[in-house]
Structure 1
Amino acid sequence: MIAVVAVATFATRAASFLVFPKGKEIPPAVKYIGMVLPPAVIGMLVVYCLKTTDVLTYPYGIPELISCLVVIALHVWKRNIFLSVGAGTVLYMFLVQAVF
């Protein structure tokens, strides 16, 4: 199963080099999708993660809010997605396990 996933991942990554060889102009539609898709995916992940947050009962979404603010602040400050998401995840787990 791991080999199949590895081959499929490699094939999808290699396909872009076959479709758009070096020196060939990338179509504007593909450039546009490459520009808007990453923020759209992040937005969908945020909505998915926060959709079950109940703000009417204790802890009122406070751990989620604090973690989101830390992720945003770290990303604006350091521009490192691994640091910001990792720290936000660790902080959220700490808050729900030890504080709230």
Structure 2
Amino acid sequence: MYAETKHEHFLAFNCVQRAHQNVVENLPVFLSLLFASVYRPLAAAIAGLIRVLGFVAYVHFYSSGDPAKRQYGSFGNIGMLIMLGLTFEAAYRLISA
């Protein structure tokens, strides 16, 4: 799955591969939280945009070949936390209705 260390660009390829895997692994959680935030669609859309921009920054900086730069995309976690809060609000409203 990863490039062999003998190849000239193995580190860059492996960084791109890992960034892709991370996005694919986080996508179901992201979509579930986004769709569960039904009571505040504008806030959910803004939080989703923050998360997507975080994904883009994460992949861009991680793909540069320096794995330490992937931290620049971590601001997208703020969007994920907002969506998590909106999901808890939706669950509370559904339970108390």
Relative contact order: is structure 1 or structure 2 higher (C-alpha 8 Å, sep ≥ 6)? 2
Computing the radius of gyration from Cα coordinates, the structure with the larger value is 1
TM-score by length of 1: 0.42
